[in-house]
């Protein structure tokens, strides 16, 4: 792939960049035609994931200790919605529905997803931008933002992952055109330099009032975006870069928007010892991605260089898992 020096500098300095016309449009159209029907068949699982995340963050100890079993026991979407409402999250408060790791689903009939996630093209781009000679595929996600969905709060992806590393990177791939924010665009918003701001989480924790005054903290113009985006354009951001997305309150019914993301991690990244306990709780971090890494994380030794088929080495290509 052609990654310019300017794009590398932007990624290093700002924590994000954009790669215009990076993926052929026909590949995006084919990807969408495969993954959206598959996601529609997995909608109940996506709702259960939202319930488990909220239960794990509940003040109720029983809910926290039993978040997985309670969520798995819900039989339909209405039951999930009722549970979320009882936890204080109305349907309109959800920022999106999320579907993890379609590349692993052998019965999904989504060959384009697997080809893209495992492609040397994306993996080498990740290697260049992270400055990592060895790269592993961490996960893929489909984000389904429905008409009426709420905004995505400021967050950093690495808080949700099981790794202890500064080298994690996400390629965010919209599956349709994204207009400017003024015209209803709901692409990602980024806070420049936030990936290298160690003081923010150290002194203020992972959330709180300081996150409500980001522009004052980083300066006027520090909140950036790459909209409008055409089909084939891709944004890329560091795992510690703060980012968010506007809500879809003004979208018309039937204008649902989809984005596909692929996340890579440095090949030598180690798993934290507290990534997943028996009761599915962490001492630090966010539970949002537990559904992604639960199938493998307890099978590797923390604080060691590890190999696992569900987190394959994808660059260099000669190292095959």
CA angle 271, 272, 278 (to 5 degrees): 105
Are the beta carbons of 303 and 271 closer than 8 angstroms?
A: yes
More confident residue, 183 or 91: 183
Q: Is pLDDT at 66 greater than 80 in this prediction? A: yes
Are the beta carbons of 300 and 306 closer than 8 angstroms?
A: yes
Are the beta carbons of 246 and 186 closer than 8 angstroms?
A: yes
Mean pLDDT along residues 115-130 = 98
pLDDT tens digits along 260-317: 999 999 999 999 998 876 555 555 678 889 999 999 999 999 999 999 999 999 999 9
Rounded to two decimals, what is the model's pTM?
A: 0.94
* Average pLDDT score, the chain: 93
Are the beta carbons of 296 and 308 closer than 8 angstroms?
A: yes
pLDDT tens digits along 194-235: 999 999 999 998 888 899 999 999 998 999 999 999 999 999
Please report, rounded to a whole number, the percentage of residues in the chain having pLDDT higher than 70.
96
Distance CA 192, CA 5 (A): 18
Are the beta carbons of 235 and 245 closer than 8 angstroms?
A: no
Q: Is pLDDT at 83 greater than 70 in this prediction? A: yes
pLDDT tens digits along 248-264: 877 777 789 999 999 99
pLDDT tens digits along 125-144: 999 999 999 999 999 999 99
pLDDT of residue 277: 66
Are the beta carbons of 144 and 97 closer than 8 angstroms?
A: yes
Are the beta carbons of 302 and 295 closer than 8 angstroms?
A: no
Closest residue by Cα to residue 279 from 303, 306, 296, 298: 298
CA 266 to chain centre: 16
Collapsed DSSP state (helix, strand, coil) of residue 235? strand
Q: Read off the pLDDT band of 318 (50, 70, 90).
A: low
pLDDT tens digits along 52-63: 999 998 999 999
pLDDT of residue 279: 54
Are the beta carbons of 136 and 313 closer than 8 angstroms?
A: yes
Q: Is pLDDT at 319 greater than 60 in this prediction? A: no
Are the beta carbons of 235 and 226 closer than 8 angstroms?
A: yes
pLDDT of residue 123: 98
Q: Is pLDDT at 70 greater than 70 in this prediction? A: yes
Mean pLDDT along residues 29-54 = 96
pLDDT of residue 208: 82
Mean pLDDT along residues 25-39 = 97
pLDDT of residue 194: 97
Please report, rounded to a whole number, the percentage of residues in the chain having pLDDT higher than 90.
83
């Amino acid at each position: 792939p052609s990654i310019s020096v300017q794009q590398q500098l932007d990624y290093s300095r700002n924590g994000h960049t954009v790669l215009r016309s990076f993926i052929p449009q026909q590949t995006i159209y084919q990807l969408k035609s495969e993954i959206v029907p598959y996601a529609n068949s997995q909608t109940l699982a996506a709702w259960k994931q939202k319930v488990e995340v909220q239960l794990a963050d509940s003040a109720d100890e029983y809910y926290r200790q039993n978040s997985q079993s309670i969520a798995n026991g819900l039989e339909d979407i209405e039951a999930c919605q009722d549970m979320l409402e009882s936890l204080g999250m109305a349907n309109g408060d959800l920022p999106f529905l999320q579907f993890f790791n379609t590349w692993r689903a052998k019965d999904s009939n989504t060959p384009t997803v697997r080809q893209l996630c495992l492609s040397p093209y994306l993996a080498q781009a990740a290697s260049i931008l992270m400055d990592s000679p060895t790269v592993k595929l961490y996960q893929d996600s489909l984000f389904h933002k429905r008409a009426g969905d709420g905004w995505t709060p400021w967050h950093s992806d690495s808080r949700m992952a099981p790794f202890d590393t500064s080298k994690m990177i996400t390629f965010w791939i919209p599956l349709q055109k994204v207009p400017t924010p003024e015209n209803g665009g709901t692409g990602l918003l980024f806070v420049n330099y936030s990936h290298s701001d160690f003081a923010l989480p150290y002194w203020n924790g992972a959330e709180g009032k300081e996150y409500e005054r980001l522009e004052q903290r980083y300066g006027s113009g520090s909140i950036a975006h790459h909209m409008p985006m055409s089909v084939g354009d891709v944004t890329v951001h560091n795992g510690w870069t703060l980012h968010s997305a506007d809500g879809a309150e003004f979208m018309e019914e039937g204008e649902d928007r989809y984005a596909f993301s692929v996340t890579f991690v440095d090949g030598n990244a180690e798993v934290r010892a507290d990534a997943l306990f028996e009761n599915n709780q962490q001492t630090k971090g966010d539970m949002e991605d537990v559904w992604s890494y639960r199938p493998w994380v307890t099978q590797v030794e923390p604080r060691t260089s590890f190999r696992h088929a569900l987190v394959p080495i994808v660059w260099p290509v000669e190292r095959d898992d």
